A = this chain, B = another copy of it.
Amino acid sequence: MTTARGLTSCSASATAAVLLTSLLSAPAFADDPLASWNESPTKRAVVSFVERVTKQGGPDFVPVADRVAAFDNDGTLWSEQPTYVQAAFLIDRVKALAAEHPDWKDKQPFKSVIENGLEGTWTLSTHQVVEIVAATHTGMDVDAFQRIVEDWLTTAEHPRFKKPYTELVYQPMLELLAYLRANGFKTYIVSGGGVEFMRPWAERVYGVPPEQVVGSSVKVRYEEREGKPVLIRLPEVAFIDDRAGKPDGIYRAAGRRPIAAFGNSDGDYELLRWTTAGPGPRLGLIVHHTDADREWAYDRNSHSGRLAKALDEAPARGWLVVDMKNDWKTVFRFQR
Chain A interfacial positions (CB closer than 8 Å to B):
6, 9-10, 12-14, 16-17, 19-21, 23, 65, 142, 186, 195, 199, 209-213, 217, 220-222, 228-229, 231, 244, 247-248, 251-256, 270, 273-274, 277
Indicate if the CB atoms of A209 and B142 lie closer than 8 Å.
Answer: no
Copies in the complex: 2
Contacts of A274 in B (CB 8 A): 222, 229, 231
Indicate if the CB atoms of A16 and B20 lie closer than 8 Å.
Answer: yes
Contacts of A12 in B (CB 8 A): 17
Partner pick for A244 among B19, B221, B247, CB 8 A cutoff: B221
Indicate if the CB atoms of B255 and A199 lie closer than 8 Å.
Answer: yes
CA–CA, A17 to B270, complex, Å?
49
Indicate if the CB atoms of B253 and A211 lie closer than 8 Å.
Answer: yes
Indicate if the CB atoms of B222 and A270 lie closer than 8 Å.
Answer: yes
Q: Do A210 and B13 form a contact, CB below 8 Å, given A229-B273, A273-B229?
A: no
A240 smallest CB distance to B (angstroms):
12
Indicate if the CB atoms of A255 and B211 lie closer than 8 Å.
Answer: yes
CA–CA, A76 to B231, complex, Å?
24
A167 smallest CB distance to B (angstroms):
23
Indicate if the CB atoms of A213 and B255 lie closer than 8 Å.
Answer: yes
Partner pick for A254 among B210, B247, B248, B273, CB 8 A cutoff: B210
Indicate if the CB atoms of A13 and B23 lie closer than 8 Å.
Answer: no
Indicate if the CB atoms of A277 and B229 lie closer than 8 Å.
Answer: yes
In the complex, besides A10-B14, A13-B17, A195-B255, 18 extra interface pairs with C-beta distance below 8 angstroms are A6-B10, A13-B13, A16-B16, A16-B21, A19-B20, A20-B20, A23-B23, A142-B251, A186-B211, A211-B212, A211-B254, A211-B255, A213-B255, A217-B252, A222-B244, A228-B277, A229-B247, A231-B251
Indicate if the CB atoms of A247 and B228 lie closer than 8 Å.
Answer: no
Contacts of A217 in B (CB 8 A): 252
A89 smallest CB distance to B (angstroms):
18
Q: Which residue of B lies closest to A198 (CB)?
A: B255
Q: Do A209 and B13 form a contact, CB below 8 Å, given A20-B19, A23-B23, A251-B231?
A: no
A113 smallest CB distance to B (angstroms):
29
Q: Which residue of B lies closest to A19 (CB)?
A: B20
CA–CA, A332 to B251, complex, Å?
32
CA–CA, A174 to B317, complex, Å?
45
* The 9 nearest A-B residue pairs measured at CB: A210-B255, A13-B13, A16-B17, A222-B244, A10-B10, A13-B17, A16-B20, A229-B273, A229-B274
